Chains A and B, each alone.
Chain A
């Protein structure tokens, strides 16, 4: 079965092609069901591959399927090849699994949209790219998927491009992602330079064999981390993710919560031997950035009023947790949290989509409330997602978050720094419990605040929130099941219940840092954290349900510490001015950069002659200047000034 792993990305690609050609004819809902079926088929193939891998002895759980030699020239040989190993198959399992559920959900959610089939074209293309990313055997195949998911994300964010904000958000996503891509590219060339190959196995074995120079490993790590920051929305490149919520909600769930944004974490885990080889400050930087992002985004989430923005900032925050784990050398915990987070965050996003759907595209939580009676299934599943993310045992999020905090607490080499990071992580966990409780109360409990505004929705006739159709509820129920039991993947009680650890062991044993914590410490931390989270939820209930205290939601938090505004200002003023200045120089001294000439020409012949000769003179002057500089250099060389 391992030889046909190329089937996994191929199936969504087929769905993409069929929908491109026949999508409009198939129409609503058949084209969506086809896309979902392709994704489901990919899931089944992945599952079979998984069982095949499990049945093998541990050292044989790695297989490379080469499709063709892509760039087979001399010193550089890159294959279009896929790698099946525990890590890539774990990723592929939850991408295709959750992907199928979200495809199904989208069939209901996008019902009636004029571009219904186009949506699934993009969605299948995304699934294909994401699978390329995780299954790639070398950095170039991954890079291909990396660019692909970026493009799809961009296309899907601006799917409703008639909204101005959606188009702007798409652009922002593109630009920030390019910064990250630059880091990825540099890392790729550094790796090629260092080991003469782009394949992960060559790079990792060079790191493990000690042939990779420490400084090179550090540079590769930092550059890949820059790439990861872009893709996984870490400080300072996170700004695109909250804006990305302009896209349809299934997109937010699939791309901006469960899969694409975790690509950076995946990449870090994939090259964990390189990180382990780098100077110790490199993983420390990763951990610090992760913890800072987690805290920052959580504080912002506390004051958001848009139902999806809360979840968006929460995603940024949870991704920060994952990077904290990576930086602490707890790669298994990072993957564990990635999987459980995919379960409950997809659930929460889909739940919010169901609410938005039922509320006729209302996203402001201040106009919601008391929806649990009208949308019982959505409410029930959302509450499960809430308990999971808030870290209430025995829900999935508790176990994975606990492991990350434990890894930070017990970090052996730099205890002082990592104790501080642990503190930041713990505080973030409390904030998470707080803002999620706030959200649940504002949406599903309390007083119904939507009737007051029914006049705003005159077009809909009598406005009454309603429960979503079955095809949307089914994925919610499935995901809530996973959010409850997701923890069994890696229970800390005995050695045999740490399934994920054993499964990923061969891949991470070089980089994984074993913490030193006694059993007592572990229990104390787990129980203490859970108790504090419950207390934090209690405070939120006290504030928002009972209204016993005034809610503190300063405007600066609602504005995301004004960071976004600062970036916009910077790009709009000094950044823009830099571009404008270059253009001005070019226009006035060099040439008519911004359409100066042609429009001038049309105005009149007399002006034409003047401007034209003037311009040509300027051009000639520039060339002359270039000649002088060139001659100066060569002559100074000739007389020996520059040796």
Chain B
């Protein structure tokens, strides 16, 4: 009955699991950089030279990203593997999501440097928190154990609570941090309770591999007795993750927190946290509990439809651009859930669903980071100018910046020749492939409604004349670079999506 021997029974000889340090390097780099940053900054009396924190963070992001590419290569040659006594895995989806998170971290670091200077905040802690959050995200995406997943979730969340409140001069920022904290704690509790119930029903918290939840579920005799316990546990797991990805009806925190948090942090939340949570959702429920798919797939189906419809319609009535983008990020979560729903079907079309989710997560991470980078600049000193009015006449004042934002918005709307189009196209094809026609049609409808929102911002920028008194938007180097990278990626993937689609498909099939 108890598939995993409890540690109590083997106290006589405590065997520490073999740690594959080489495969842990991406995590170690992020952890090390974070520690160096915090300790170093605390020890030096006058703090470091400006820009050094950001440089270190960006370097750590790049290093972790490159290391994951190296691991990818070894996965191709030697197959996926597990680490630290099967607590973590190195496989296609985990590396793909990990790289997405590192990309988001790099872009956030570039933007935050200029932001902190403009807002006159000197805080190495922000970067330390970024690094910890990214570390948590990586752990979530790579976890093969619900407890480890929860650990990653908490590391990510706690760092984000503080980050959301990190603009000390703005009361909205603190309000956002507090709100996020209270509601995040609320949902984490559900998740943890879910973990406990699943453990109670199956006797293990391990997700895949030998003696895991997946194998336990395959032996239905064992779990049938605890079926109610099990499904309630799964429901609570879904609640916890749905909160993190901001799926309706667990989305209510998003607009307030996105609006109140410092804009670069919002960008990081929308990209990295969402990527990590979708990675965790794939790993914990979709890939590990296929036997229960008849139970949880309808729930995902409903979540996806609610999220698509509510996200895109409420975006239309907003007047604050950060709030608009918050609702738009909700509707993007809906699109990714469409891919998850397709992935839930298993088999060939399931693989296609996983690939579409991975592709969407990466392209959206870059896209939304770029969007919020522009929004950071337009927010101007004080980070308050986020009304639609603040975008008026941007096309004349800063044509290149306005053009970049137009590219991002068009991509978010799913206009062809941008990465956003290919992403939407692949989730909808995956859904159609899995015969989920209703959801595919609703997704297209949401895309149509959602386009109106992006149009409003573009119209404001190019067609309406700006207020002459408005402070001129300045474009510092780091943020400019981040925007440039994001635009380039968005367009390159839009024109030549083949390689990345191939990579995502590859990742989807290289499962531990």
User: Any chain A CB within 8 A of the CB of B429?
Assistant: yes
Are B172 and A161 touching (Cβ within 8 A)? no
User: Any chain B CB within 8 A of the CB of A72?
Assistant: yes
Q: Tally B residues with Cβ within 8 Å of A.
A: 74
User: Any chain A CB within 8 A of the CB of B440?
Assistant: yes
Given A74-B505, A626-B249, A635-B232, CB of A189 within 8 Å of CB of B187: no
Are B497 and A71 touching (Cβ within 8 A)? yes
Are A140 and B416 touching (Cβ within 8 A)? yes
Are B227 and A601 touching (Cβ within 8 A)? no
Are B256 and A615 touching (Cβ within 8 A)? yes
Given A71-B422, A76-B429, A179-B448, CB of A625 within 8 Å of CB of B249: yes
Size class of the A contact interface (CB-based, 8 Å) = 35 or more
**Which residues of chain B have C-beta atoms less than 8 A from A626's C-beta?**
239, 242, 249-250
Q: CA A583 – CA B323 in complex, angstroms?
A: 13
Q: CA A594 – CA B417 in complex, angstroms?
A: 33
**Interface of A toward B, CB cutoff 8 Å:** 68-76, 140, 143-144, 147, 151, 158, 161-162, 167, 170-171, 174-175, 178-179, 181-182, 185-186, 189, 192-193, 579-580, 582-583, 586, 590-595, 597-598, 601-602, 608, 612, 615-616, 618-620, 622-623, 625-627, 629-631, 633-635, 637-639
**Which residues of chain B have C-beta atoms less than 8 A from A76's C-beta?**
429
B57 to chain A, nearest CB (A): 29
Are A620 and B182 touching (Cβ within 8 A)? yes
**Which residues of chain A have C-beta atoms less than 8 A from B253's C-beta?**
619
Are B236 and A623 touching (Cβ within 8 A)? no
Are A623 and B252 touching (Cβ within 8 A)? yes
Are A73 and B505 touching (Cβ within 8 A)? yes
Which one of B25-33, B61-69, B146-154, B311-319 contacts A?
Answer: B311-319
Interface centre among B235, B252, B416, B505, by most A CB within 10 Å? Answer: B252
Q: CA A189 – CA B417 in complex, angstroms?
A: 18
**Which residues of chain A have C-beta atoms less than 8 A from B179's C-beta?**
612, 615-616, 619
* 17 A–B contacts from the bound complex (CB under 8 Å): A143-B416, A161-B464, A170-B459, A181-B448, A189-B429, A192-B432, A193-B432, A579-B316, A590-B252, A598-B320, A601-B172, A608-B175, A619-B183, A626-B250, A631-B235, A635-B228, A638-B232
B151 to chain A, nearest CB (A): 22
Q: CA A189 – CA B443 in complex, angstroms?
A: 12
**Which residues of chain B have C-beta atoms less than 8 A from A616's C-beta?**
179, 182-183
Are A637 and B231 touching (Cβ within 8 A)? yes
Are A630 and B235 touching (Cβ within 8 A)? yes
Given A579-B313, A623-B252, CB of A186 within 8 Å of CB of B175: no
Are A598 and B172 touching (Cβ within 8 A)? yes
Q: Which residue of B lies closest to A586 (CB)?
A: B314
Bits for B229-270, please: 1 = Cβ < 8 Å to A, else 0.
011101110110011000001101101100110000000000
Q: CA A322 – CA B100 in complex, angstroms?
A: 50
Are B496 and A637 touching (Cβ within 8 A)? no
Q: Which residue of A lies closest to B501 (CB)?
A: A73
**Which residues of chain A have C-beta atoms less than 8 A from B183's C-beta?**
616, 619-620, 623
**Which residues of chain A have C-beta atoms less than 8 A from B172's C-beta?**
598, 601
Are B252 and A591 touching (Cβ within 8 A)? yes
Q: Which residue of B lies closest to A174 (CB)?
A: B455
A161 to chain B, nearest CB (A): 4
Q: CA A623 – CA B253 in complex, angstroms?
A: 10
User: Any chain A CB within 8 A of the CB of B481?
Assistant: no
**Which residues of chain A have C-beta atoms less than 8 A from B441's C-beta?**
186
Are A70 and B497 touching (Cβ within 8 A)? yes
Q: Which residue of A lies closest to B316 (CB)?
A: A579
Are A594 and B319 touching (Cβ within 8 A)? yes
A122 to chain B, nearest CB (A): 12
A73 to chain B, nearest CB (A): 4
Q: CA A627 – CA B195 in complex, angstroms?
A: 15
Q: CA A597 – CA B501 in complex, angstroms?
A: 41
Q: CA A68 – CA B494 in complex, angstroms?
A: 13
A248 to chain B, nearest CB (A): 15
Are A592 and B235 touching (Cβ within 8 A)? no
Give the contacting residue for B260; candidates A178, A598, A631; CB below 8 A.
A598
Are A583 and B432 touching (Cβ within 8 A)? no
**Which residues of chain B have C-beta atoms less than 8 A from A598's C-beta?**
172, 259-260, 320
Given A140-B416, A593-B314, CB of A637 within 8 Å of CB of B252: no
Are B317 and A639 touching (Cβ within 8 A)? no
**Which residues of chain A have C-beta atoms less than 8 A from B190's C-beta?**
627
User: Any chain A CB within 8 A of the CB of B452?
Assistant: yes
In the complex, chain B residues 200-248 whose Cβ is within 8 Å of any chain A Cβ: 227-228, 230-232, 234-236, 238-239, 242-243
User: Any chain A CB within 8 A of the CB of B502?
Assistant: yes
User: Any chain A CB within 8 A of the CB of B404?
Assistant: no
User: Any chain A CB within 8 A of the CB of B428?
Assistant: yes
**Which residues of chain A have C-beta atoms less than 8 A from B85's C-beta?**
none
Q: CA A70 – CA B227 in complex, angstroms?
A: 47
**Which residues of chain A have C-beta atoms less than 8 A from B428's C-beta?**
189
In the complex, chain B residues 283-341 whose Cβ is within 8 Å of any chain A Cβ: 294-296, 298-299, 310, 313-314, 316-320, 323
